[in-house]
């Protein structure tokens, strides 16, 4: 079978699997977050933390609960890393240094999982399991809670109650993430992913040298790394490591896991608003962007634009031979469009335009399909802007899902859209302006700018992948990227939850003759246009100076 | 690979002074305090929220009514319903 045929087969099977999971998983998630019944274990948790599960909150209270949970998560994970040397299963590693501990704690609590460290030589098994993996569940559940709350804003009327954060969080973990994670962890183990408490096995290499091969509880972390669109790998090589991703089957499965919840959430949205066509419209936009990205990265990586690429049959530098170019391109596009950030190949070794697409995927705001929860609420905010633009064209007050979009809603949507580009561009500008930090760029020219731009784009959009060649394990970068990750995660959430509160207070407006249908091809096309124009053009100058300059040279 | 790792430069984890811990814990608190201020600012932008943050009295919950229905969530938690005005 040719490489191209294998690539089409993998991609085709992935589309079929995601389509098959769309309805059952989407409907299940809708049920999870709308049912009145609490499980016994959930009631126990509510009693333990002193929460009245029946009480719902207004949006500021919901948000403050979310921020309180997150700040405690960051501080706990920071402390956990700092005292690692005194904990069991530390494998003899000392405490993580303060700046790196801060960066890692902020990273995992914000679903970014940016790793300025090498897992197998820095973190003991207990910190990996009880610190990092636990945050993987928590941060993913937080994202889902926020999007469910936004959907409630559309479905409710004349109320200022938008939900109970603790109920949403616990249900997200107990009913959604944990059960799926347990099942697929076993599948990954069957596929060859390691899961043990071994500190390492000493082996003799073919050349006669001695090498320690580290083990660890990898599969249990691997599954939530993908499922929760986290991305933080047990090993430094992430999903390029044979213990995390041994073969093409596990590679396909990991791509499926990192896409499945985000692609099913539009169905949940459609079910909850009472019109499945709304979900189909949103998922169509996501799918078009995803397919275009996969095609683009595959095209550029398969090109023969250098002697090495010509000899090898494609840009194989930084790729794993067991995956090849199509599977690597599929993983790259999927991971950068979903805020996962896991990698099965070296992104710094991507061709300039292939890497430019990976960068653009993150710059789009990671909405196709985006992170667990964050992707859907991102695209819904863009849908609000689209309806607003359409309303301007025809001189009508814009309405979306029977709610009027007035000045307040548009201000909140605009603030949402402006937040991450501000963090990206200001952060990159400051990093390039400071001589000391500019020296951290190891590659000259446009690629050096691309590396810094990629770092701040990844941090702001909570992706976590990186180009190499940038010395980010410094106090400045660890601190700056940590701050950017926290602001890039929670500032947008503030605007989304305020939007939910504002929408929930409105009366429902019956659709009229002049209401723009938001399930038809016209709206889908307009939404695609808004995504590209509003979001992508924000970054065009930066793209022109980095990847485009390098690629078109 | 993901973050930058320079394999030939092993990070030396010495005993860091506690000042660094205080600094980074302080930074965390400051960043979240900024977020709390942004919440306050957005509350002013959105407008006053009716009532206080105390739970509604029991007869305002689960009283049935048309408010909040529509889609699956309309049949959700009983506190979502309010007396129709």
- Please tell me the distance in Å from B30's CA to the nearest CA on chain A: 10
- Asked whether the beta carbons of residue A411 and residue B45 sit closer than 8 angstroms, the reply is yes
A-chain CB neighbours of B24 within 8 Å are 78, 98-99, 101-102, 479
- Asked whether the beta carbons of residue B49 and residue A58 sit closer than 8 angstroms, the reply is yes
Looking at every residue in chain A, the average pLDDT score rounds to 92
Check pLDDT > 50 for residue B70: no
What separation, in Å, do the N-terminal and C-terminal C-alpha atoms of chain A show?
35
- Asked whether the beta carbons of residue A473 and residue B32 sit closer than 8 angstroms, the reply is no
Check pLDDT > 60 for residue B74: no
Report the C-alpha gap between A468 and A440 in whole angstroms.
Answer: 11
Check pLDDT > 80 for residue B8: no
Query: Which of A96-105, A133-142, A199-208, A233-242 bottoms out in mean pLDDT, i.e. has the lowest?
Result: A199-208
Query: Which of A224-233, A434-443, B45-54 bottoms out in mean pLDDT, i.e. has the lowest?
Result: B45-54
Check pLDDT > 50 for residue A432: yes
Average pLDDT score over residue span A231-244:
94
Of A384, A391, A389, A392, nearest to A502 by C-alpha is A384
pLDDT of residue A423: 96
pLDDT of residue B40: 94
Give helix then strand counts, H and E, for chain B: 1, 0
- Asked whether the beta carbons of residue B53 and residue A58 sit closer than 8 angstroms, the reply is yes
pLDDT in tens, A272-305: 999 999 999 999 999 999 999 999 999 999 886 6
pLDDT of residue A95: 92
Q: Give the confidence band of A397 by pLDDT, cuts at 50, 70, 90.
A: confident
Determine which of B2, B19, B30 to mutate to test the interface with A (most A C-beta atoms within 10 Å): B2
**Cβ under 8 Å to A: B residues 17-56:** 20-21, 23-25, 27-29, 31-32, 34-36, 38-39, 42-43, 45-47, 49-51, 53, 55
> Residues of chain A with pLDDT > 70: what percent?
98
pLDDT of residue A60: 95
Q: Give the confidence band of A42 by pLDDT, cuts at 50, 70, 90.
A: very high
Check pLDDT > 80 for residue A307: no
Q: Give the confidence band of A546 by pLDDT, cuts at 50, 70, 90.
A: confident
Q: Give the confidence band of B45 by pLDDT, cuts at 50, 70, 90.
A: confident
pLDDT of residue A310: 67
Report the C-alpha gap between A207 and A200 in whole angstroms.
Answer: 19
Report the C-alpha gap between A358 and A551 in whole angstroms.
Answer: 13
Could you give the residue ranges of the DSSP H alpha helices within A128-217? 134-155, 165-171, 178-190
pLDDT in tens, B13-35: 455 578 889 999 999 999 999 99
pTM of the full predicted structure?
0.90
Question: What ipTM did this prediction achieve?
Answer: 0.91
Of A313, A346, A368, A214, nearest to A7 by C-alpha is A313
- Asked whether the beta carbons of residue B77 and residue A54 sit closer than 8 angstroms, the reply is yes
Determine which of B3, B43, B56 to mutate to test the interface with A (most A C-beta atoms within 10 Å): B3
pLDDT of residue B18: 83
Average pLDDT score over residue span A460-466:
94
Of B4, B37, B75, nearest to A490 by C-alpha is B37
- Please tell me the distance in Å from A193's CA to the nearest CA on chain B: 19
Average pLDDT score over residue span A191-211:
91
A-chain CB neighbours of B6 within 8 Å are 471, 473
Q: Which of A128-137, A200-209, A506-515 has the highest mean pLDDT?
A: A128-137
- Asked whether the beta carbons of residue A494 and residue B39 sit closer than 8 angstroms, the reply is yes
Report the C-alpha gap between A291 and A299 in whole angstroms.
Answer: 12
CA distances in angstroms from B64 to A32, A497, B81, listed in the order given = 22, 25, 6
């Amino acid at each position: 079978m040719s490489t191209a045929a294998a690539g089409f087969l993998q991609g085709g099977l992935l589309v079929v699997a995601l389509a098959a999971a769309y309805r059952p998983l989407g409907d299940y998630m809708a049920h999870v977050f709308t049912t009145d019944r609490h499980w016994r274990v959930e009631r126990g948790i509510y009693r333990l933390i002193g929460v009245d599960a029946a009480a719902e909150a207004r949006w500021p209270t919901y948000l403050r609960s979310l921020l309180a949970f997150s700040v405690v998560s960051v501080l706990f994970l920071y402390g956990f890393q700092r005292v690692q040397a005194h904990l069991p299963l530390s494998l003899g590693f000392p405490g993580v240094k303060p700046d790196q501990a801060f960066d890692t704690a902020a990273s995992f609590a914000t679903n970014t999982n940016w790793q300025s460290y090498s897992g197998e030589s820095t973190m003991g098994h207990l910190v990996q399991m009880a610190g990092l993996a636990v945050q993987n569940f928590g941060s993913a559940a937080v994202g889902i809670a926020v999007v469910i709350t936004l959907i409630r804003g559309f479905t409710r009327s004349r109320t200022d109650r938008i939900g109970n954060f603790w109920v949403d969080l616990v249900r997200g973990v107990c009913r959604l993430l944990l059960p799926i994670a347990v099942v697929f962890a076993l599948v990954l183990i069957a596929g060859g992913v390691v899961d043990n408490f071994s500190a390492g096995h000493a082996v003799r290499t073919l050349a006669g040298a001695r090498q320690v091969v580290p083990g660890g509880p990898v599969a249990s972390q691997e599954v939530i790394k993908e499922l929760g669109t986290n991305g933080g790998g047990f090993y430094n090589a992430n999903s390029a490591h044979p213990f995390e991703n041994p073969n093409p089957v596990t590679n396909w499965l990991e791509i499926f896991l990192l896409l499945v919840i985000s692609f099913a959430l539009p169905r949940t949205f459609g079910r909850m608003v009472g019109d499945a066509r709304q979900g189909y419209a949103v998922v169509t936009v996501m799918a078009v962007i995803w397919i275009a990205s996969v095609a683009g990265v595959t095209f550029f990586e398969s090109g023969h634009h250098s002697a090495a690429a010509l000899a090898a049959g494609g840009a194989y530098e930084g790729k794993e031979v067991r995956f090849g170019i199509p599977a690597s391109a599929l993983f790259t596009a999927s991971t950068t469009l979903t805020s996962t950030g896991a990698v099965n190949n070296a992104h710094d070794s991507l061709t300039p335009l292939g890497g430019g697409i990976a960068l653009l995927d993150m710059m789009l705001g990671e909405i196709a399909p985006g992170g667990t929860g964050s992707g859907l609420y991102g695209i819904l905010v863009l849908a609000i802007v689209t309806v607003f633009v359409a309303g301007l064209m025809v001189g009508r007050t814009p309405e979306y899902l029977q709610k009027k979009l007035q000045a307040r809603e548009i201000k909140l949507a605009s603030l949402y859209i402006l937040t991450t580009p501000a963090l990206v561009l200001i952060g990159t500008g400051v990093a390039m302006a400071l001589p000391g930090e500019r020296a951290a760029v190891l590659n000259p020219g446009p690629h050096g700018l691309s590396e810094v731009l990629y770092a701040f784009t990844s941090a702001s959009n909570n992706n976590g992948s990186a180009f190499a060649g940038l010395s980010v394990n410094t106090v400045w970068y660890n601190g700056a990227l940590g701050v950017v990750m926290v602001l890039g995660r929670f500032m947008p959430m503030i605007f989304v939850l305020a939007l939910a509160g504002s929408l929930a207070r409105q009366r429902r407006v019956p659709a009229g003759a002049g209401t723009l249908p938001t399930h038809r091809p016209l709206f889908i096309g307009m939404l695609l246009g808004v995504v590209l124009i509003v979001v992508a053009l924000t970054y065009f100058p930066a793209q022109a100076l980095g990847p485009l300059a390098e690629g078109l040279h | 690979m993901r973050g930058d790792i320079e394999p030939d430069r092993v990070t030396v984890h010495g005993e860091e002074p506690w000042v660094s811990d205080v600094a980074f814990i302080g930074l965390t608190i400051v960043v979240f305090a900024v977020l709390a201020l942004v919440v306050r600012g957005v509350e002013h932008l959105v407008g006053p929220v009716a009532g206080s943050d105390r739970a509604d009295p029991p007869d305002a919950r689960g009283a049935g009514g048309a408010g909040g229905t529509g889609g699956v969530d309309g049949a959700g938690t009983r506190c979502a319903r309010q007396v129709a005005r």
